[in-house]
Structure 1
Amino acid sequence: MKLCLEDEPKALEVFLACTKGEQKAFIDSIYSAKTEDTKVERIARTINKLAKGEKFYD
């Protein structure tokens, strides 16, 4: 996920502005996926959400 965030500066900025709890929620939602395909989908959804300036609970 870190590599993906580095490619999207706005998403990285929003992620770093999140509380530790919100960051953990994003990460836990991705790594709780059972398949690699689901992980990829969740990473993409997370990056898109962060790029729009949204946080986990928005």
Structure 2
Amino acid sequence: MAKIHMVLQGKGGVGKSMIAATIAQYKASKGQTPLCIDTDPVNSTFEGYKALNVQRLNIMDGDE
């Protein structure tokens, strides 16, 4: 069974990317293949973790 772990918070700078990267690295160390997605429309920091192959997903396409 697949599990989804979401790291959410409306405020910036609280460590969402760090927590998400830590969870992904832990899962990878256990032989799992995490699918990492960054949806931050302003500052996609999580996408910068190249070793995790983070995918960028634009969920606000067309919204100004």
**TM-score normalised by L of structure 1:** 0.34
Query: Which of the pair has more CA radius of gyration?
Result: 2
Between 1 and 2, higher relative CO (CA 8 Å, sep ≥ 6) is seen in 1
Q: Which one has a larger percent strand, Structure 1 or Structure 2?
A: 2
**TM-score normalised by L of structure 2:** 0.31
